[in-house]
Amino acid sequence: MSEDASPHLLLVEDSDTQALVFRRTLEGFGFTVDRTRTAEDALVSLNEALPDLLVVDYRLPGMNGDELVRILRQTGHTRTLPIIMLTSDEASEVERQGLDSGANAYVPKASGPQLLVSRMRSLLRQRRSVPGNGTAGGFRQARLLVAVADPIYRDWLRGLLTGDGHAVSVAGDEQAMLSAVAQEEFDGVLVGPAPEGEDPFAWVRALDRQRQADSAGFEIAALSEVADPAQTLAGLGAGADDVLPSRDERDMLLVRVRSILRRKLARDDEAAGAARERERELALAHARAQAEASDALAAANRELEAANAQLRETQAQLVQSAKMASLGELVAGIAHEINNPLAFILAHHATVERAVQDATTAEDDTRTKRLAKAAERLGSIRTGLVRIQDLVVKLRRFSRLDDGEWSLVDIPEAIDSVLTLLQPKIPATVTIERRYGPVRTLESSPALVNQVVMNIISNAVDAVDPATGRIVIETSTRDDRFFIAITDNGPGIPPEVRERVFEPFFTTKDVGSGTGLGLAIAYGVVRSHGGEITIESGDEGGARFLLAVPLHRQ
């Protein structure tokens, strides 16, 4: 129920006349009233919807009111439902039975509507208030504060309540009472009348103000010297949750105190149950969130792995394309190199064939001249064949360099094979200078030469002037590292471009003249050897590529 909503109560009354009176009276005070005639009908109604408060007559046909209350207090969802017991009887035994059954308050029908409404509003106020500290789940002593000015009566109450199993503290004045509730948590405070001459409920008002300020959940029971409806109304109006006669019979006082504590501890249990339910829901929500996050992460990882696999496949295809482009250029040059000697071999073969045929029928002098000419042409044929043989040897050596296995590679010999294969691309006017160091072998992958060195030399050939170009290839060793330096006298590479030359697809050549993958592949090969590739300015202003790799595989 919200603060502004009309309180909804269920009235269990078998008398139509009294039920009509109660309905009109309570509706006049702003309550919404439903009514059943019997306790059995009330149970059916409560199973369908819970009211904010239950008002039940003690004497009913069939099941009595106290029996109904006991059933409700044993049921979880009605355990904390505020219940007021009505009766026409004046006997305290009836009140005792009603309170012992679990009713929150006992109101005689003859006391008038003001007292009944005050009791109802007090119980509803408690239900809306912050319910204690919510620390339930096991047995604990109820904690009581007895705030009474009279030391004799205060000590008597402490002994009585301690003997009933409660943990009891005492305060002899208003300030001590307020200080105690500020420092400790209590389930209930029994407040005696203020000293003579003061407002009898002054301490109650002060305590209620502090309870509201601190949002505390303890019950306030005012002890009144006079047991009449006017005093009860005054105490409830001052902020008390219940008003007890201070001179009440001992057992009856204990019954009333137990009733007050029972509803407070029931609210604590309800709050603790709600807290546990919230924790369970939070734990479930957290578990669901973790499961969803785990599923999302797994899905993201699968997507990432698929993307990486596609990227690796695309990269391999691009690398292969770059290799094929270089291979196409290389094959064209090799074909040219083989075709030239092969052409004049075929031409000289025809000449030799004619000379030998003529020599078989010619005179001696003519025969000698023909055979001499044939011998000369055979020498030229041999030169062409040796040139082709050398090219094939270098090509075979290069093909062995394309194996993926690491091995001891003769770097100068491998570089010479690369230069031989690149010879068709290198103009005759471009100078190639070799400066090989004393250490020739390096444990490496063949790709270091047939991809990295070949690519850098090919780029250098493209960069230099065909008429005055000069390319210097050097090898050396230092500090267990093998160095290959390739320097040209071309225009060089500007510093702002050097940082990008190893990026895939970056090229300074014209569109269609390069893939932009050569140096990216070279960078990856050198890094796979645990080495470095750097770009510097050469002595003649061109570019200097320096490869540094470990002498031995790491």
Output the DSSP codes for 3-60: SSSPPEEEEE-S-HHHHHHHHHHHHHTT-EEEEESSHHHHHHHHHH---SEEEEESS-
- Secondary structure of 84-142 in the HEC alphabet? EEEECCCCHHHHHHHHHHCCCEEEEHHHCHHHHHHHHHHHHHHHHCCCCCCCCCCCCCC
DSSP 487-505: EE-SS---HHHHTTTTSTT
Q: Is 290 helix (H, G, I), strand (E, B) or coil?
A: helix
Encoded tokens for 32 = 């919404």
Q: Are 482 and 408 in contact (CB under 8 A)?
A: no
Minimal CA–CA distance to 549: which of 439, 426, 417, 420?
A: 439
Give the pLDDT of residue 308.
Answer: 82
Give me the pLDDT at residue 94, please: 63
> What span, in angstroms and rounded, lies between the C-alpha atoms of 127 and 135?
17
pLDDT of residue 130: 46
What span, in angstroms and rounded, lies between the C-alpha atoms of 87 and 18? 11
Q: Report how many helices (DSSP H) and strands (DSSP E) the chain contains, helices first.
A: 16, 17
For residue 131, the model assigns a pLDDT of 47
Query: What is the reported pLDDT for 135?
Result: 46
470-519 pLDDT tens trace:
999 999 999 989 999 999 999 988 888 887 887 766 676 654 455 556 77
For the stretch 500-505, contacts whose Cβ atoms lie closer than 8 Å and that sit 24 or more positions apart, written own/partner, are 501/535, 502/533, 504/318
Q: 347: which 2 tokens? A: 């031409």
Half-sphere exposure (CA, 13 Å, Cβ side) for 263?
32
Question: Residues 200-215: what's their mean pLDDT?
Answer: 90
- How far are the Cα atoms of 89, 161, 252 from residue 93, in angstroms, in the given order? 9, 21, 9
Q: Are 481 and 287 in contact (CB under 8 A)?
A: no
Total count of residues recorded for the chain: 554
| Nearest residue to 150 via CA among 82, 200, 115 | 200
Q: How far apart (Å, rounded) are the C-alpha atoms in residues 166 and 513?
A: 97
The 543-550 sheet, strands edge to edge: 431-435, 470-478, 481-488, 543-550, 532-537
3-state secondary structure at position 183: helix
Residue 291 CB neighbours (<10 A): 10
What is residue 132's predicted lDDT score, i.e. its pLDDT? 47
Q: Please, what is the end-to-end C-alpha distance for the chain in angstroms? A: 77
pLDDT band at 545 (very low <50, low <70, confident <90, very high): very high
Q: What angle do the packed helices 454-463 and 518-528 form, to 10 degrees? A: 140
Q: Which of 213, 230, 267, 205 is nearest to 222 (CA)?
A: 205
For the stretch 233-266, pLDDT in tens is: 888 889 988 888 877 677 778 888 888 887 787 7
pTM of the model: 0.43
CB atoms closer than 10 angstroms to residue 300: 10
Q: Are strands 167-171 and 188-191 parallel, antiparallel or unpaired?
A: unpaired
Report pLDDT for 517. Answer: 64
Pairing label, strands 53-57, 242-245: unpaired
In this prediction, residue 331 carries a pLDDT of 61
Please report the pLDDT score of residue 414 as a whole number.
Answer: 87
Residue type, 418: V
pLDDT > 90: percent of the chain: 19
Q: For residue range 154-207, what is the model confidence (pLDDT) as tens digits? A: 899 899 888 888 889 999 999 999 999 999 999 899 998 777 777 888 999 999
Average per-residue pLDDT for the chain: 81
Please indicate whether residue 121 or residue 404 has the higher confidence score (pLDDT): 121
pLDDT at 429 over 90: yes
Residue 455: closest CA among 365, 322, 336: 322
Give the sign of the dihedral formed by CA 200, CA 202, CA 205, CA 208.
negative
Q: Decide: 192 and 163 in contact? Cβ < 8 Å.
A: no
For 102, 154, 166, 228, the CA distances from 246, given in Å and listed in that order, are 22, 11, 18, 12
Question: Average pLDDT in the 390-419 region?
Answer: 70
Give the integer Cα–Cα distance in Å for 229 and 231: 5
Per residue in 305-362, pLDDT (tens digit) is 888 888 777 766 665 565 555 555 556 656 666 766 777 677 777 777 777 777 777 7
| pLDDT, tens only, 77-118 | 787 888 888 887 665 566 666 677 778 887 888 777 888 888
Q: What is the pLDDT of residue 200?
A: 85
Residues 6 or more apart in contact with residue 312 via CB below 8 angstroms: none
CA atoms within 13 Å, Cβ hemisphere of 416: 14
